[in-house]
Structure 1
Amino acid sequence: MRRVLYLARSRTYQKMTARPARPVFDKEQLDSLLSRRFFVAPGFEIYAGVAGLYDYGPPACALQANIVDQWRKHFVLEEDMLEIDTTIITPAEVLKTSGHVERFADWMCKDPASGEIFRADHLIEQVLEARLKGDKEARGESVHESPDDTKKRKAKVKPLKLDNAVKSEYEQILAKIDGYSGKEMGELIVQYSIRNPVTDKPLEAPQEFNLMFDTSIGPTGAIKGYLRPETAQGQFLNFSRLLEFNNNRMPFASAQIGKSFRNEISPRSGLLRVREFLMAEIEHYVDPETKSHARFNEVKDVKLCFLPKDTQEAGKTDITELTIGQAVEMGIVDNTTLGYFLVRIHQFLVKIGITASKLRFRQHMKNEMAHYACDCWDAELQTSYGWIECVGCADRSAYDLTVHSKKTNRKLVVRENLEQPRVYHEWEGQINKKVLGPKFKKDAKAVEERLLAMTQEEMERASQTGSVSFDINGQTFTLNSEFVTFIKVTRKESVREYTPNVIEPSFGIGRILYSLIEHSYWSRPEDSQRGVLSFPPIIAPIKCLLVPLSGSPEFIPIVKHWAATLRNIGISNKVDDSSANIGRRYARNDELGTPFGITIDFQTVKDKTVTLRERDSTTQIRASEIDICQVLQDLTGGKVTWEQVVQKYGEFQGQSLD
């Protein structure tokens, strides 16, 4: 009879436990929850705080630790990566060589009247989007702003009426906003009368601003340094050691999780744009001749949502849905290793609770491509701030290893023994140094370096014409056969030496964490003030709540026993034995994202059974200690779903907890 009852319940389970339709997303309500429950707080708050610096409270710390733990399992363990930890303080010479000192910058514009600074692309985006919405009110920002900032943000001006042609122009600009140069953004600011949204005062032309925090190393300050803007350079500098550790086998990947720092121009987007943040980066080293991945066939049929560069350059944002196999075959995604990691990134984000329909991959346009990249895709997540880049996946080619090798005269290469020696013909320049030196004197070294850097095509042309010409620092040098001759030689190669290319997935953990919070947040339809964070059990800060039905002394030893038992099997838990009613206690912990709750009641005293409540559906089962412990291990390990648990044990309806 009991089995029949359970079957009847399971048939109607979907109807009973399906989560109700979510109300309209309320950002102010979520911000209030994050502040009230100490997920996050402004850094140095009692000293009035500093924009772009935040402290994580206990729930966010645990959530971040669980996200990082899943990242390690999903990438480092499953992909057999080599994890390292390199220093944060970086000598200036390293970042000068990598190009960051010269190029790691954003464009800012200043209001000369107030001194306020804006990031140019964000300001253009903000103003045009607001005009499209019918007013010039800035997008809602975090409740963690100072009162003055909030007052400025909420200042309104007279609404603008736009005709269809202007709206179309705005939409095209927004589609291409990431591809504009500083000069082009300055022209847009003038053309569309973009001013300070609060004071309506004109702005100066955009100026470049390097985002790195500088420092000095040692007591004399003689060694200039920077706080690293990314974790990648430390991995590249250790390439030879990593290759040796990997028994000189290719391909392989290194990984690093650590803090990075960027001196953001105008951090106005809460946790999404901060000056100190946690990154998780992978450097996957591949053979430049193939760039293939051995496991690509495992993922080739997975569909992803793409926003290619051609679409953006046409002023559109239409999504193209393709399998990754199709995207690589069509040349949209450059190679199978890049494609493989796009899928693995997608799988990871969905696994930790990101809503798949709010995830897309946007390709970088030519003007926005990083100086080191030949192709790059961003995993963007849709939030109340719009589409936000949370993961970058770039093909860095051989740029970093090449520039560091050239600067240090240390070979950062792979040497591969060939089964069949390669025989090939190439041009070689033979320099007559006895004539070259006296002729060019102080310029002789620069001329010799330029000759040694000649390409095969340049040498072939020079052999045909009998001379070669080139410019060095604005001066033209012409050399005939008296100084250099070019001959074709035959070489036999038994060992192939090459500089590997690098595919780099780079994760902004803080941005992922905040986007996950938004994607997980909803409120009970019967009470819009009852917020719920539906974190998947594998990353929830606290896995299980222990709730004694009352303050009865009989429950005290049972609660202590359960807390110790759950800790011993690796289930994080919290006891709530306050005087609030049991529904209120569960509601408080729904706000923290706690997925499960155990109620200890008078039946527990009699037969040691307890009820187990699931957060989203608020349904329960009742079972013994052994069964509940096993169920919790399976649920928090992702081995079973709550639906499967209810089908097995049946829904318990003996008491209402809500």
Structure 2
Amino acid sequence: MEEVDEVQEELMAVALKRNFLMPANEIYGHTAGFYDYGVVGAAMKRKLENAWRELFLWREGFYEIERASVLPAAVLKASGHVDNFGDMMARCAKCGWADTADAIVEDAEALEKPEQYEAAIKKLEFKCPKCGSKEFRVAWFKLMFETKVGAKGDETGYLRPETAQGIFVDFPRIFRALGSKLPLGVGQIGKSFRNEIAPRQALMRLREFTQMELEYFFDASEGRHPRFGEVEDRKVRVLTVEQQRKKQGRAKEISCMKMVEEKLVPNEAVAYFMYRTQQFHE
């Protein structure tokens, strides 16, 4: 882990020096979790976005939309985000330093309630890295940026935590406009926002970031993909459910056809896009 951290620090040093990235609002004091793309970084980002469009949209004959970034509370209530999109936050009772509770308590799978986390942190005798106190309060923290919409401020909205919801709520109009036929692919590239408790790992955990997302709508009773034949013999690196349960971290290379035949994935469509995703990263 230390070696990984050292590599990340070296990469960030180069990125800042060569103007790939800039700490946002740096002259007024940088706020963690926000970065600007510099002259070189912005050009590289556009190339990456167009490479994604080429593979996932243009070659497939899919479509792209651009959605508003503010969503009304009703949308995110229906999706479950209002009630469930958050983390347990551990805050130092003395100085206010905070982090996610599961970053302090590593084996936290069985913990659900704030008082359970507080007891676990106390048992660990964890000390606040800022002031040394061992007193912590744990509470549920919503990871969405909330805002009030309109002059009266009587309607609650949120900066979208991910781009998927916009595609789903627009689907009826898109579906009708394109002839009411399946399968149908709709993609979007845009900003998402998450009020992270403790942004870390440079660009890996930000409060504002760009997502490239594709939603593929098809008849689940069939599950076939018209271009599956192109990838059926291609191998994908996967961790099976059994491996994950046994906490075996070494990925296996399995062909798309074998994944479907052995029911490691629900259908051809899932296997097809797993391979395309791997292809994009390579």
TM normalised by structure 1 equals 0.40
Say which of 7, 11, 14 aligns to 1:30.
11
Partner of 1:342: 274
Larger radius of gyration: 1
One-letter amino acid of the structure 1 residue matched with residue 264 of structure 2: I
Give the match for residue 291 of structure 1: 223
Alignment of 1:131-280 (within 5 A): 173=107, 181-183=111-113, 188-197=120-129, 199-204=131-136, 206-280=138-212
* Structure 1 residue 261 displacement after superposition: 0.6
Aligned pairs, how many? 275
Instruction: Provide structure 2 residue ranges, at least 5 long, that are not aligned to the other structure.
Output: 1-5
Q: What RMSD in Å do the two structures reach over aligned CA positions?
A: 2.2
Aligned match of 1:55: 36
Of stretches 195-204 and 254-263 in structure 1, the one that deviates more from structure 2 is: 195-204
Given residue 104 of structure 2, which amino acid in structure 1 is its aligned partner?
Answer: L
Matches within 5 A, 1:42-81: 42-81=23-62
Superposed CA deviations along residues 451-480 of structure 1, whole A, max 9, x for unmatched, are xxxxxxxxxxxxxxxxxxxxxxxxxxxxxx
Partner of 1:105: 86
Q: In the alignment, residue 41 of structure 1 is paired with which amino acid?
A: M
Q: What is the match of residue 387 of structure 1?
A: none
Contact 2:92/2:137 (<8 A) preserved: no
Deviation digits for residues 368-395 of structure 1 (CA, Å, limit 9, x no counterpart): xxxxxxxxxxxxxxxxxxxxxxxxxxxx
CA distance in 2, matches of 1:27, 1:90: 34
Of 96, 103, 121, 1:122 maps to 103
Q: Is the 8 A contact 1:43 1:49 kept in 2?
A: yes
Distance of aligned partners of 1:122 and 1:296 in 2 relative to their CA distance in 1, 3 Å threshold:
farther
Shift of 1:340: 0.8
**How far has the Cα of 1:182 moved from its partner?**
3.5
1:82–1:242 Cα contact (<8 Å) kept: no
Distance change (3 Å), C-alpha of 1:219 and 1:42: same
Match of 1:85 among 57, 61, 66: 66
Q: Which amino acid aligns with 1:282?
A: L
**C-alpha distance 328-206 of structure 1, shift in aligned 2 (>3 A):** farther
C-alpha distance 112-319 of structure 1, shift in aligned 2 (>3 A): same
Q: What secondary structure sits across from 2:61 in the alignment?
A: coil
The AA in structure 2 aligned to 1:339 is A
Report the alpha carbon displacement of residue 320 of structure 1 after superposing the two structures with TM: 2.5
Note the 1:242-641 alignment, pairs <5 A. 242-350=174-282
Quote the Cα distance in structure 2 between the aligned partners of 1:180 and 1:79.
Answer: 43
2:91 is aligned with what amino acid? Answer: K
In the TM superposition, residue 87 of structure 1 has moved relative to its aligned partner by 0.7
Residue identity opposite 2:98 in structure 1: I
Whole-Å Cα distance in 1 between the matches of residues 41 and 264 of structure 2?
A: 37
Q: 2 CA distance for matches of 1:180 and 1:35?
A: 40
* Superposed displacement of residue 26, structure 1: 4.6
Q: Structure 1 vs Structure 2: percent identity of aligned residues?
A: 36
Deviation at 1:88, TM superposition (A): 0.7
Q: Deviations over 1:119-159 (max 9, x none)?
A: 1223345xxxxxxxxxxxxxxxxxxxxxxxxxxxxxxxxxx
Task: Report the Cα offset of residue 197 of structure 1.
Answer: 4.4
Q: Report how far residue 246 of structure 1 moved.
A: 2.2
Deviations 1:399-436 (A, max 9, x none): xxxxxxxxxxxxxxxxxxxxxxxxxxxxxxxxxxxxxx
Cα distance change, pair 317–188 in 1 and its aligned pair in 2 (3 A): farther
CA distance in 1, matches of 2:208, 2:97: 22
Structure 1 CA distance, aligned partners of 2:43 and 2:82? 35
Alpha-carbon distance change, 120 to 220 in structure 1, aligned in 2, over 3 angstroms: same
Report how far residue 37 of structure 1 moved: 1.5
Question: 1:101 and 1:28, CA in 2 relative to 1: closer, same or farther beyond 3 A?
Answer: closer
Cα distance, 1:287–1:273 mapped onto 2, change above 3 Å: same
Question: AA paired with 2:112?
Answer: G
- CA gap of 1:92–1:26, structure 2 versus 1, over 3 A, is closer
Alpha-carbon separation, structure 2, partners of 1:48 and 1:256 = 32
Equivalent AA in structure 2 for residue 229 of structure 1? P
Cα 1:290–1:256 change in 2 (3 A) is same
C-alpha displacement of 1:191: 4.8
Distance 1:82 1:28, change over 3 A: closer
Contact 1:256 1:281 in 2 (8 A): yes
Name whichever of 289-298 and 97-106 sits farther off.
289-298
Give 1:268 shift: 2.4
Q: CA deviation at 1:67?
A: 0.2
Higher relative contact order (CA closer than 8 Å, sequence separation 6+): 2
Deviation at 1:207, TM superposition (A): 2.2
CA contact (8 A) 1:300 1:324 kept: yes
Distance 1:180 1:306 in 2: 26
CA contact (8 A) 1:106 1:119 kept: yes
Question: 1:105–1:211: 8 Å Cα contact kept in structure 2?
Answer: yes
Q: Is the 8 A contact 1:124 1:194 kept in 2?
A: no
CA offsets 1:273-316 (integer angstroms, 9 cap, x no match): 11111111111111121222122222122222212333233233
Q: Which amino acid aligns with 2:211?
A: M
